[in-house]
Amino acid sequence: AQTVTQSQPEMSVQEAETVTLSCTYDTSESDYYLFWYKQPPSRQMILVIRQEAYKQQNATENRFSVNFQKAAKSFSLKISDSQLGDAAMYFCAYRSASWLGGKLIFGQGTELSVKP
Protein backbone atom coordinates (compact mmCIF):
# COMPACT_ATOMS: atom_id res chain seq x y z
CA ALA A 1 0.00 0.00 0.00
CA GLN A 2 1.13 3.49 -0.72
CA THR A 3 2.13 5.68 2.20
CA VAL A 4 3.13 9.30 2.64
CA THR A 5 5.30 10.43 5.54
CA GLN A 6 5.96 13.93 6.81
CA SER A 7 8.53 13.61 9.57
CA GLN A 8 8.41 17.23 10.75
CA PRO A 9 5.28 17.86 12.85
CA GLU A 10 6.26 21.52 13.31
CA MET A 11 8.55 23.98 11.59
CA SER A 12 9.32 27.61 12.17
CA VAL A 13 10.77 30.27 9.88
CA GLN A 14 11.62 33.92 10.17
CA GLU A 15 9.70 36.27 7.90
CA ALA A 16 11.50 36.76 4.56
CA GLU A 17 13.62 33.65 5.10
CA THR A 18 13.44 30.31 3.27
CA VAL A 19 12.09 27.08 4.72
CA THR A 20 11.92 23.53 3.39
CA LEU A 21 9.25 21.03 4.37
CA SER A 22 10.05 17.34 3.90
CA CYS A 23 7.91 14.56 2.49
CA THR A 24 8.71 10.99 1.58
CA TYR A 25 6.43 8.42 0.04
CA ASP A 26 6.40 4.75 -0.69
CA THR A 27 5.04 3.26 -3.89
CA SER A 28 5.87 0.57 -6.41
CA GLU A 29 4.27 2.50 -9.24
CA SER A 30 6.07 4.63 -11.78
CA ASP A 31 3.27 6.97 -12.80
CA TYR A 32 1.70 9.16 -10.15
CA TYR A 33 1.10 12.71 -8.97
CA LEU A 34 2.32 14.50 -5.87
CA PHE A 35 0.77 17.53 -4.23
CA TRP A 36 1.30 20.03 -1.49
CA TYR A 37 -1.84 21.42 0.13
CA LYS A 38 -2.00 24.34 2.55
CA GLN A 39 -4.55 24.52 5.36
CA PRO A 40 -4.68 27.92 7.10
CA PRO A 41 -6.59 28.42 10.37
CA SER A 42 -9.77 28.86 8.33
CA ARG A 43 -9.56 25.08 7.67
CA GLN A 44 -9.92 25.56 3.92
CA MET A 45 -7.66 23.21 1.96
CA ILE A 46 -5.76 25.05 -0.76
CA LEU A 47 -3.65 23.43 -3.46
CA VAL A 48 -0.16 24.92 -3.44
CA ILE A 49 1.69 22.94 -6.07
CA ARG A 50 1.52 19.76 -8.13
CA GLN A 51 4.22 17.50 -9.59
CA GLU A 52 3.78 14.83 -12.24
CA ALA A 53 6.14 11.89 -11.67
CA TYR A 54 6.98 11.56 -15.35
CA LYS A 55 8.31 15.12 -15.43
CA GLN A 56 11.91 15.53 -14.36
CA GLN A 57 11.64 19.27 -14.01
CA ASN A 58 10.70 20.46 -10.54
CA ALA A 59 7.42 22.37 -10.30
CA THR A 60 7.42 26.03 -9.31
CA GLU A 61 4.61 28.39 -8.36
CA ASN A 62 5.84 31.87 -7.48
CA ARG A 63 7.59 31.58 -4.08
CA PHE A 64 6.84 27.86 -3.80
CA SER A 65 8.99 25.21 -5.42
CA VAL A 66 9.58 21.51 -4.96
CA ASN A 67 12.59 19.25 -4.97
CA PHE A 68 11.34 16.02 -6.51
CA GLN A 69 13.72 13.08 -6.18
CA LYS A 70 11.94 10.14 -7.79
CA ALA A 71 14.55 7.50 -7.03
CA ALA A 72 14.70 8.54 -3.39
CA LYS A 73 10.90 8.94 -3.25
CA SER A 74 11.28 12.38 -1.78
CA PHE A 75 9.14 15.45 -2.44
CA SER A 76 10.10 18.51 -0.41
CA LEU A 77 8.49 21.95 -0.54
CA LYS A 78 10.60 25.08 -0.44
CA ILE A 79 8.99 28.38 0.51
CA SER A 80 11.11 31.40 -0.34
CA ASP A 81 10.72 34.90 1.12
CA SER A 82 8.32 33.57 3.76
CA GLN A 83 5.35 35.75 4.61
CA LEU A 84 3.10 35.84 7.65
CA GLY A 85 0.28 34.51 5.48
CA ASP A 86 2.27 31.34 4.84
CA ALA A 87 1.63 30.21 8.41
CA ALA A 88 -0.53 27.11 8.09
CA MET A 89 -0.60 23.33 8.17
CA TYR A 90 0.96 21.85 5.04
CA PHE A 91 0.04 18.42 3.72
CA CYS A 92 1.89 16.34 1.20
CA ALA A 93 -0.32 14.02 -0.87
CA TYR A 94 0.07 11.19 -3.37
CA ARG A 95 -2.22 9.99 -6.12
CA SER A 96 -1.66 7.02 -8.38
CA ALA A 97 -2.23 7.77 -12.04
CA SER A 98 -4.06 4.45 -12.35
CA TRP A 99 -6.64 5.07 -9.64
CA LEU A 100 -10.09 5.64 -11.02
CA GLY A 101 -11.58 8.66 -9.35
CA GLY A 102 -8.27 10.11 -8.24
CA LYS A 103 -8.28 9.42 -4.49
CA LEU A 104 -5.43 11.07 -2.62
CA ILE A 105 -3.32 9.72 0.22
CA PHE A 106 -2.14 12.40 2.63
CA GLY A 107 0.79 12.69 4.99
CA GLN A 108 0.44 13.63 8.64
CA GLY A 109 1.01 17.33 8.05
CA THR A 110 3.60 19.92 9.08
CA GLU A 111 2.55 22.96 11.08
CA LEU A 112 4.50 25.98 9.82
CA SER A 113 4.78 29.11 11.92
CA VAL A 114 6.23 32.35 10.58
CA LYS A 115 7.91 34.75 12.99
CA PRO A 116 7.81 38.49 12.27
Partner 1 sequence: NAGVTQTPKFQVLKTGQSMTLQCAQDMNHNSMYWYRQDPGMGLRLIYYSASEGTTDKGEVPNGYNVSRLNKREFSLRLESAAPSQTSVYFCASLWREATGELFFGEGSRLTVL
Give the residues lining the site for partner 1 (CB under 8 A). 4, 6, 9, 33, 35, 42-45, 47, 50, 52, 91, 95, 99-109
DSSP secondary structure, 8-32, as one string: -SEEEEETTS-EEE--EEE-S-SSE
Distance in Å, CB of 107 to partner 1, minimum:
5
The SS3 assignment for 34 reads strand
Distance in Å, CB of 16 to partner 1, minimum:
29
- Asked if 11 contacts 34 with a C-beta cutoff of 8 angstroms, the reply is no
Nearer to partner 1, 28 or 98 (CB): 98
Nearer to partner 1, 6 or 82 (CB): 6
Nearer to partner 1, 16 or 47 (CB): 47
Distance in Å, CB of 101 to partner 1, minimum:
3
- Torsions phi, psi for 85 (to 5 deg): -70, -10
Nearer to partner 1, 1 or 116 (CB): 1
- Asked if 13 contacts 82 with a C-beta cutoff of 8 angstroms, the reply is yes
Is the four-CA dihedral 39, 94, 76, 52 of positive or negative sign?
negative
Distance in Å, CB of 97 to partner 1, minimum:
8
